[in-house]
Structure 1
Amino acid sequence: MDFGIHTFVWNDGQTQQDIEQAMEMTRETGFAILELPGLDPRAFDLDRLVRRAVELEIRLAASAGLTPAHDVTSEDPEVVRRGEMFLLEAVGVARDLGSTQMSGPIFSAHQKFPTMPTREGWKRSAEVLARVAETAKDAGVALCLELVNRYETNLINTVQQGLAYIEESGSDNIFLHLDTFHMNIEEADPVQAIRLAGDRIGYFHVGESNRGYLGSGTVDFEATFDALLEIGYSRGISIEAFNSRTCRDHLKTVCAIWRDVFHDDVDFALHSKVFLDMQYAAAQRRAGAYAPA
């Protein structure tokens, strides 16, 4: 299993220098994957990032999120059109970075909504994502819908909803991006949710219930890793965490980053890597112990 880390553990990813520094720190702390925030291809030298990733022997994983100006659930056709164009460009960035997936809350604006979702908004979103998924499939990129909590979207918060959305889209290139932080809020039984999602999981985030050091909160990582092994998940697991120094301003509001839960990014990363290695190894031992002779 390859483990990854999000750029926001290191910095806000606003410049080429930021991303390259994050890549170097990712390598130094033993991670195999660096997850990138949405990158504007006009502001970054993507070819240089790819060359540097090869030199450092790490992989790049692309992610993105929709702003209210790009909300594909909107009643405004121009907003929906902009959202579709944004997603198609993000797919192109993922392809150029060599990422096999483009993940994140890409089915609606990433924000706290003041109203209930509508059936029409759901339908518009699924139709847009189905079209984008076809282009992404040709590019060798899977779309992975990050199921964030109710305070960050009103459309899809649970695995059951995510599977229904995929079914309605009719696409075989849309998958689920699960995150233990969000599942801890929304799923009645996060472990059963992993089992239910099964082979539709395209990407997986680990995050503690308090977004701090893994093991310091209420997430049951032992059961989580057991379930991931049980379903045969092998597409990579990344730690996502934020603090006020490294988080982009709009995310501070959307994700409610009002206090820092870690201060030393290197210490946090090293602790996370050791924790993940130990949890995965222990789950493998348990799976072997329970395997039929």
Structure 2
Amino acid sequence: MRTLGIYYGFWTHDWDVDFLPFVSKVKELGFDQLEVNGGTLVSWKEADRLTLVEEARKEGILLSYGLGMTAEHDVSSPCEEIRQNGIRFMKDMIKMVGRMGGGMIGGSTYCSWPKQLPKGDSKKEYQDQSLKSMKELVKVAEDNEVILNLEVLNRFEQFLFNTCEEILPFVEEIGSPNCGILLDTFHMNIEEDSLPVAIQLAGSHLKALHIGETNRKPVGLGRQPWKEIRSALDAIGFDGPLVEEPFVLPGGQVGQDISVWRNLFDNPDLDKLAADSAAFARRTLIL
């Protein structure tokens, strides 16, 4: 059965925050799942991570883990020292999530973010390095009940894979049920000719879907073709998580990194926006 989640960054100006208060908040607002920053959790004490897990269990909330790989941990880097740094970091994160009960790590798991192709470099060289890394990392994921989801990002944020058609052979080459595709309606709106066609192309490899409007407002407040997206999800029998990833607040590190340069709402009631969006998404994409 599909679940509905939301990313904590909707409410914050910084990536490194205490995730604990968001567990009961998202439950109250009508969500089944909370996505947090996996990179932040690596720096937490084990006891604090387990407290987060216990709170989620108490509230009946699933946890998932987003990741924006830093340049010094780029598993697609031609520099072997950087690539090995990334592999060590990712192995630690995978084992950490395993100790927390397993689950999904999604985002730029296969590359750094954001990143442009250096002038004169070969895109394929980065893809080959990434493939070598992911084949090693997926074995650790299999041993820890973790699914590594590779998010397809738009051309302004990454260069390795910008469409579902590009990333599909890469995931098939990895060849593990613990490695999947994460599509995102924001990125798809920029890169895909058709969102429904891309979803159907991903098929059983689609393990999760980030949902949001074309300008990253909450679901239901824009022009995304949600009925067509729903039909495509139904056609492939998708039963994974739908995770809202809206960003509307300028300022702070989040606003800087996501390029939010204006107020998308005047004096927004973020909780009401989230609750209304959850009701719309559940009605349109799940029920």
C-alpha distance in 1 between matches for 2:15 and 2:71: 21
Answer yes or no: is 1:128 the counterpart of 2:133: yes
What is the one-letter code of the residue matched to 2:37?
A: P
C-alpha distance in 2 between matches for 1:248 and 1:33: 25
Q: Is the 8 A contact 2:249 2:264 kept in 1?
A: no
- For residue 19 of structure 2, give the secondary structure of its aligned residue in structure 1: helix
Report the CA distance between 1:117 and its aligned residue.
4.9
Relative to 1, partners in 2 of residues 1:173 and 1:57: Cα closer, same or farther, differing over 3 Å? Answer: closer
Show the counterpart of 1:58. Answer: 61
Q: Is the 8 A contact 2:75 2:130 kept in 1?
A: yes
Q: Choose the corresponding residue for 2:190, options 164, 185, 194.
A: 185
Runs of 5+ consecutive residues of structure 1 not aligned to the other structure: 285-293
Q: What is the aligned length?
A: 278
Q: Is the 8 A contact 1:144 1:176 kept in 2?
A: yes
C-alpha distance in 2 between matches for 1:190 and 1:35: 23
Q: Is the 8 A contact 2:26 2:33 kept in 1?
A: yes
Map of 1:245-260 to 2, 5 A cutoff?
Answer: 249=253, 251-260=254-263
- For residue 42 of structure 2, give the secondary structure of its aligned residue in structure 1: coil
Report the CA distance between 1:223 and its aligned residue.
0.4
Report the CA distance between 1:40 and its aligned residue.
3.3
C-alpha distance in 2 between matches for 1:209 and 1:224: 14
Map of 1:204-243 to 2, 5 A cutoff?
Answer: 204-243=209-248
Show the counterpart of 2:142. Answer: 137
C-alpha distance in 2 between matches for 1:117 and 1:169: 21
Q: Percent identity?
A: 30
C-alpha distance in 1 between matches for 2:170 and 2:257: 23
Show the counterpart of 2:24. Answer: 24
Report the CA distance between 1:147 and its aligned residue.
0.8
Answer yes or no: is 1:176 the counterpart of 2:181: yes
Q: Is the 8 A contact 1:64 1:90 kept in 2?
A: no
Answer yes or no: is 1:107 the counterpart of 2:110: yes
Q: Is the 8 A contact 2:213 2:219 kept in 1?
A: yes
Show the counterpart of 1:265. Answer: 270
Answer yes or no: is 1:74 the counterpart of 2:77: yes
Relative to 1, partners in 2 of residues 1:234 and 1:114: Cα closer, same or farther, differing over 3 Å? Answer: same
C-alpha distance in 2 between matches for 1:260 and 1:95: 39
Q: Is the 8 A contact 1:244 1:257 kept in 2?
A: yes
Runs of 4+ in 1 over 4 A off after TM superposition: none
Relative to 1, partners in 2 of residues 1:99 and 1:140: Cα closer, same or farther, differing over 3 Å? Answer: closer
After alignment, is 161-170 or 145-154 more displaced?
A: 161-170
After alignment, is 108-117 or 27-36 more displaced?
A: 108-117
Report the CA distance between 1:138 and its aligned residue.
1.0
C-alpha distance in 1 between matches for 2:3 and 2:252: 26
Report the CA distance between 1:13 and its aligned residue.
4.9
C-alpha distance in 2 between matches for 1:75 and 1:252: 30
C-alpha distance in 1 between matches for 2:137 and 2:171: 13
What's the TM-score once normalised by structure 2's chain length? 0.90
Report the CA distance between 1:168 and its aligned residue.
3.1
What is the one-letter code of the residue matched to 2:35?
A: E
C-alpha distance in 1 between matches for 2:223 and 2:28: 29
C-alpha distance in 2 between matches for 1:145 and 1:182: 13
C-alpha distance in 2 between matches for 1:117 and 1:165: 17
The alignment yields a C-alpha RMSD, in angstroms, of 1.9
Show the counterpart of 2:199. Answer: 194
Answer yes or no: is 1:97 the counterpart of 2:100: yes
C-alpha distance in 1 between matches for 2:102 and 2:233: 22
What's the TM-score once normalised by structure 1's chain length? 0.89
What is the one-letter code of the residue matched to 1:32?
A: D
What is the one-letter code of the residue matched to 2:93?
A: A
Show the counterpart of 1:289. Answer: none
Q: Is the 8 A contact 2:226 2:285 kept in 1?
A: no
- For residue 209 of structure 2, give the secondary structure of its aligned residue in structure 1: strand
Cα deviation, 1:94-143, whole Å, max 9, x if unaligned, reads: 22332421111111111141536522211010110111011001111111
